[in-house]
Each structure stands twice: as C-alpha cells, then as structure tokens.
Amino acid sequence: MRDVSSVVLVSLLAACGSDTQVVPSYVSWMDWPSEVVRGSEFTVHLVVGRPCVGRNFQSGQMLDQSAVTYTPRFLIDPGSVCPLTLQLFDVDVLGILDTADVVPGLPADFPRTYEMRAASSVYANVAVFDALPNRTFGEITVRTTLFPPSTVAPPRNAAGFAYAQRDSTGCMRITPTGLFAPRAAMALENPPDTTGTWWAFVRGYIQPVAACGAFRTFHLVSRN
C-alpha cells in the first residue's frame, strides 16, 4: 500500500507543479457504521486538522486485509501566504475540516472485523507532523448476509479527541474537538464522573436518540 500511496503523491505533484507541497495532516475524530455488509460502500465521518492555505484535501484512504487506514494530506500552492501570520504557508496555524469519505466496501468470506486507523497524535491533536503514528480508532464488523428488513440501523462507532461539559441543568454533552455547530454536540449517555468539564481521546458509539437538547447520544466505552 505504501507504493500505491507514493504513486498518488507523485501524480499530484506532477499535476500541480513541482513547487506544490503535499502537507500531511491528522484525524482528530472519526465515526463510522459499527456493522456493514461485505462489498457494500459506507461513509466515514472525519474531522481533520487543516493547515493554513491548505487546499485539495486528500483522505489518503488505504485498504488492506486487516484495516481501513487514513493518512490525510493537503496541497499548498507555491507562494501562498497565511493571512493569520503573513508568512508563506503555515502548518502551525490549523483550522478544522469537517468532511466525509466513502469506503467502497470490504471483502469477507465469513463474518469478521477490520480495524479503523488513522494518522493521529498519541498525546494531543495540536500540530502537524510528517510521521504521525497510525492510531487504532476502533473496529468495524463485516457481515456476509444482508440485514433483516425489520432490523434497526446499527449504531455508529466513534473515537477521537473530544471535550465534555455539564450544563446548568446537569446534562453532560460531548463534542468532537474543533466542531462548534450546535448539532455537533451529543448527549453523553454514561458520564464517567461528576466533573463539570474534561477533554480526552474517547471511544464509544453514537445512537440517534434525542436527549438533553441534543439530537444524538454518545455511549462512552473508554477515555484516555
């Protein structure tokens, strides 16, 4: 898979000019279906760090026999100036790209799981590095048979950096880091303690159940 990725990068540079830079980024949040049918495409929601003046987002999706892996990157044109620093492109000034990526389908001769991985910081999502580790966000189960017609849609697995905050009514909400739209917040179904505010890398699953003024709930499985 590394060879294929290298070919893609070379092609991008050739198409955009030799001075165009490919800048790696990271995934701070990811959510995806907990179960899919083999060969069926599915959508992965990604929250990605965006360098100043970065354009032409490339998810860097790679599929192999054990995992779906994301190594996101952006293109930066020669001479681009970051308006926040007045410097030629600046990878230290980050925004957030809230986007989605379609996986064309995963093969399976029998029910099995794949890991969902992405380039991401182990400690904090505050910088872009050339060699961030591929962190395991969770798993996806691949079925060999269709879901029965009456089956409720399975929850979405989710993981990433998020902050939780308790409001004046006692409700705890959790929001992926960098997202500020009201609909981004989810009701935290099982708060781990009574702390008013905390930030962590979390793993869990999302259900379309309204609570505490939010449209969805998040069930926490782990945080660190």
State the pLDDT at residue 10. 37
Higher-confidence residue: 86 or 173? 173
User: Taking the model in full, what pTM does it have?
Assistant: 0.85
Q: Would 21 be classed as within a structural domain? A: yes
* pLDDT, tens digit (0-9, with 9 covering 90-100), for 122-131: 664 444 456 6
Position 106 scores a pLDDT of 98
The last residue of a domain, from among 120, 143, 166: 143
For residue 100, pLDDT over 90 is answered with: yes
Q: Residue 72 domain-assigned?
A: yes
Residue percentage of the chain with pLDDT more than 90: 63
Q: Are 139 and 164 part of one and the same domain?
A: no
Question: Do 127 and 86 have their domain in common?
Answer: yes
DSSP string, the chain: -HHHHHHHHHHHHHHH-TTPEEEE--EEEEEEESEEETT--EEEEEEEEEETT-EEEE---EE-SSEEEE--EEEE-TT-EETTTTEE--TTSEEEEEEEEEE-----SSSEEEEEEEE--SS-S----TT--EEEEEEEEEESSPPPTTPPPPPEEEEEEEEEEE-TTS-EEEEETT--SGGG-EEESS-SSS-SEEEEEEEEEEE---BTTBS-EEEEEEE-
Within this chain, do residues 14 and 56 fall inside the same structural domain, yes or no?
yes
Q: How does pLDDT run across 186-214, given as a tens digit for each residue? A: 999 999 876 789 999 999 999 999 999 89
Q: Is residue 150 part of a domain?
A: no
Same domain, 89 and 189: no
* pLDDT of 16 strictly over 80: no
105 and 207 share a domain? Answer: no
pLDDT tens digits, residue range 131-155? 688 999 999 999 999 988 877 888 9
Same domain, 164 and 132: no
Domain with 216 in it = 156-223
Same domain, 66 and 173: no
Domain boundary among 143, 167, 185: 143
Residues 168 and 117 in one domain: no
